[in-house]
Amino acid sequence: MSVTHTLEADVLRRQDPQLADILLGELERQSTTLQLIAAENYTSPAVLAALGSPLANKYAEGYPGSRYHGGCEMVDVAERLAVERAKALFGAEHANVQSHSGSSAVLAAYAALLRPGDTVLALGLPYGGHLTHGSPANFSGRWFDFVGYGVDAETGLIDHDQVRTLALAHRPKAIVCGSIAYPRHIDYAFFRDIADEVGAYLIADAAHPMGLVAGGAAPSPVPYADVVCATTHKVLRGPRGGMLLCGADLAERVDRAVFPFTQGGAQMHTIAAKAVAFGEAATPAFAVYAHQVVANARVLAAGLAAEGLVVTTGGTDTHLITADPAPLGVDGRAARGRLAAAGIVLDCCALPHGDVRGLRLGTAAVTTQGMGEKEMVWLAATMARVLKGETESQKVREEVRELAGGFPPYPG
């Protein structure tokens, strides 16, 4: 960590030693275990510095040049910088960087384009759809009439024929493409054609692949979607938050949907951190990183399949892998617990076609640490040892600690 962060830690220890211990404990956890949660990553020290900056003190409802509070001269500059960097990075005509999360970005997209009761076509939750894609526990399922499309029973790939059939039958006001557990690239051109055929808006929920898009390792939804919703963490490696991209024709509607319709004051320290992350993602080094994330995921997926796990769709195009550990004699929840005890942290998820819980994991964080294909081969074999009960979890925990120690997320 930097000298600045060391000094800040010293201040916190003096002021609130109880919380300082909690933060140091979390840093210890992250530094001694392997983070394979697909939605997580390590930000750079520069991003962390922006998050802990004096911009955290500033109230800034509104947009640059049109705020509801005085003293916004510098935060206006910071937000304009974040917007311009996002537009340049993704080739978008307009960017809104105020959304507090990916879910709030999706809410704003719906608010900009839809009215309560409108029909929306999206990937069904059992097949990898997000809560904001129609869950009855979420605002989306309560406010809109969602119709879910699925995946082919044999391949696990999105059933394009079903998408078209449902779109023609229901004539939705909007079609959503995107997933939290679909490991393959989405055919945005196909979804654009279907949306045009039925007169629907196309909303791309690209929270997971957007960092790969930034690094040139995944196709971009920007040329095809009316509105793109994304997070700024995950593979993009920025602060936890959201953003929206759209054409100039929808810019005012999107901005008003974020503020004042769904949010209040912008979190200016987070927006500054987003600007840092966008700048980092525009570098050649980030492009190398994004491609390595995918290479690592493919090696890890192949290794898990070779060990007997059933890998959904037979592999991955992205950072994300979903797999069924049942052939090894354990279900998803139990597998997650065993791996956590060994220091390997990942998630469960629903698997297509049947009430089955599998594993969802990703390679963004371990790649940020500098791990490559060699470590992924070891990781696949080690996970299998744990799931098969061939090695005690505590023994593997020490092996994991040793590996993680060789790739510290924040050296020094």
3-state secondary structure of 378: helix
Average pLDDT, the chain: 95
When pLDDT is cut at 50, 70 and 90, the band that residue 393 belongs to is confident
Tokens standing for residue 258: 């974020």
When pLDDT is cut at 50, 70 and 90, the band that residue 353 belongs to is confident
61 is catalytic: yes
Instruction: Please state, in angstroms and rounded to a whole number, the distance separating the CA atoms of residues 41 and 22.
Output: 20
When pLDDT is cut at 50, 70 and 90, the band that residue 6 belongs to is low
Exactly one of 43, 132, 231, 363 is catalytic; name it.
Answer: 231
Percent of the chain with pLDDT over 70: 98
Residue 187 has pLDDT above 80, yes or no: yes
Instruction: Name, in order, each residue with C-beta under 8 angstroms of 394's C-beta and a sequence gap of 6 or more.
Output: 341
Instruction: Please state, in angstroms and rounded to a whole number, the distance separating the CA atoms of residues 162 and 176.
Output: 14
171 is catalytic: no
Exactly one of 32, 33, 59, 118 is catalytic; name it.
Answer: 59
Exactly one of 61, 187, 373, 399 is catalytic; name it.
Answer: 61
Exactly one of 234, 298, 338, 397 is catalytic; name it.
Answer: 234
What mean pLDDT do residues 183-206 have? 98
Exactly one of 13, 240, 253, 256 is catalytic; name it.
Answer: 240
When pLDDT is cut at 50, 70 and 90, the band that residue 5 belongs to is low
Instruction: Please state, in angstroms and rounded to a whole number, the distance separating the CA atoms of residues 38 and 340.
Output: 15
pLDDT score, position 289: 98
Exactly one of 205, 226, 280, 324 is catalytic; name it.
Answer: 205
Per-position DSSP letters for 343-362, written without gaps between them: TEE-EEEEETTTTEEEEEEE
234 is catalytic: yes
pLDDT score, position 412: 75
Question: How does pLDDT run across 255-299, given as a tens digit for each residue?
Answer: 999 999 999 999 999 999 999 999 999 999 999 999 999 999 999
pLDDT score, position 11: 85
pLDDT score, position 124: 95
Question: How does pLDDT run across 305-341, given as a tens digit for each residue?
Answer: 999 999 999 999 999 999 999 999 999 999 999 999 9
pLDDT score, position 3: 38
205 is catalytic: yes
Instruction: Please state, in angstroms and rounded to a whole number, the distance separating the CA atoms of residues 352 and 388.
Output: 24
42 is catalytic: no
Listed range (76-90, 98-112, 343-357) with the worst mean pLDDT: 343-357
Question: How does pLDDT run across 30-43, given as a tens digit for each residue?
Answer: 999 999 999 999 99
- Other C-beta atoms lying within 10 Å of the C-beta of residue 6: 10
Instruction: Please state, in angstroms and rounded to a whole number, the distance separating the CA atoms of residues 321 and 151.
Output: 16
**Tally of CA atoms within 13 A in the half-sphere of 49 that contains its CB:** 13
Question: Look-up: residue for tokens 């390792």?
Answer: 217
Q: Position 167: which residue type?
A: A
pLDDT score, position 83: 98
Q: pTM for the whole thing?
A: 0.95
* Residues making up the chain, counted from first to last: 412
182 is catalytic: no
